[in-house]
Homo-oligomer: A and B are copies of this chain.
Amino acid sequence: MKKVRVGIVGLGRLGFSHAEHLKFHIANADLVAACSVVEKEREAVRQWEVPYIFENFEDMIVSKEAALDAVVIATPSGLHCGQVAKAMDAGLHVFCEKPLGVDVAQCKIAEAAVERHPELVFMLGFMRRFDPSYAHAKELIDRGDIGKPIMIKATSMDPDSMIDSFLPFAPTSGGIFRDLAIHDIDLARWFLNGDDVVSIYAAGGCYLYPEMAEYGDVDNACAIMRFKQGGIAMFTSSRTAPHGSQIETEIIGTKGIIRVAAIPEKNLLTIYQPVGAVRECYVDFRERWAAAYLNELTAFVACVAENRKPDVTVYDGTKCTEISYAAMDALHTNQIVTLQ
């Protein structure tokens, strides 16, 4: 069994976690190279004796010594699509973090690269699909347990306690739907069998952080999207969840309903206290998605090793970016936005 030789670019919070998974937890991956513009980040992986360390992405992908099979891209969103194209043109399989690009024009660059290289694996990091609960929901739906899915209700709430780490990024985040709801949008399309959105309405407000209005964002929002084949999705996005992170999804079918994480349970404990019977909640997205992050990279490496294509395509990335922008438009104009 030949191991897949992987390089990673971007070693921030998420990139570093991907690097750890590749180095320590994925048997048929060999993390042979890592790249970051930040010396401290390079030093961190140097400790693990990763053989080739780069400051420059272009150097890494063409390095004869590193001789990469694949690259994992975890750089700032604005760089994704260009790096996707370069890596694929250098003959590498690519795993790219979400969002695909910051606008549709960028996404098209990535699409073109993927189309130029049908021989290569490209996978986008919509990791929720690899969470055991969501994967199980999809399985139940696909085998018909809830009949035909007709309505999706998706909620993504970041805890108010994390607002301080978000606010510095708020001006460049692209807004609540692009930054926060994009996973929900992907899930809605996934559960509705890849159907397309035809119109969007959205509403929201700056309830706790009026300063967010300055850069055209809100701290709480909701949206209704109509799909081509008649399905409907409702979204709730919030930066100010009082109790912790909450990611909840409901799929209403003609014969059954599935709800994922109505209570964002941390583990199997119930604590009986004077306040009542308490289910503790997971504290943030890393705790919630620990398994999903590992599973998605494992799946990517397996796709490369076995020369299979993943289910998440580059087009999923473009669509979700397009939809999230339309939702921001609807929010700003208080109008229904139509997609073709």
Contact = CB atoms under 8 A, between A and B. Distances in A.
Contacts of A202: 224
Nearest to A234: B222
A51 to B, nearest CB: 15
Nearest to A243: B272
A162 interface: no
A102 B173 CA distance: 47
Most buried by B among A243, A244, A267, A272: A272
Interface stretch (A70-78, A117-125, A140-148, A184-192): A140-148
B257 A220 contact: no
B243 A336 contact: no
Interface in A73-119: none
A140 B279 CA distance: 13
Interface string A243-280: 11010000011111111111111111111111111111
A204 interface: yes
Interface of A: 1, 23-25, 27, 49, 132-133, 136-137, 140, 145-148, 150-151, 153, 161, 199, 201-205, 207-208, 220, 222-224, 226, 230, 232, 234, 236, 238, 240-244, 246, 252-281, 334-336
A243 B150 contact: no
Contact of A274 (B147, B223, B242, B263): B242
Given A151-B236, A242-B254, 7 more contacts: A148-B207, A241-B272, A243-B256, A244-B274, A244-B276, A271-B276, A276-B279
A201 B224 contact: yes
Contact of A260 (B133, B147, B199, B268): B268
B147 A242 contact: yes
Contact of A261 (B24, B201, B223, B268): B268
A257 B269 contact: no
Nearest to A280: B276
Contact of A234 (B1, B208, B234, B334): B234
Nearest to A48: B1
Given A234-B222, A281-B276, A269 B136 contact: yes
Nearest to A160: B254
Nearest to A230: B205
B222 A224 contact: yes
A220 B150 contact: yes
Nearest to A225: B203
Contact of A140 (B147, B243, B258, B271): B271
A3 to B, nearest CB: 11
Given A232-B222, A234-B236, A238-B252, A257 B271 contact: yes
A175 to B, nearest CB: 17
Nearest to A270: B259
10 contacts: A133-B269, A151-B220, A203-B226, A207-B230, A222-B224, A242-B272, A242-B273, A257-B272, A263-B270, A277-B279
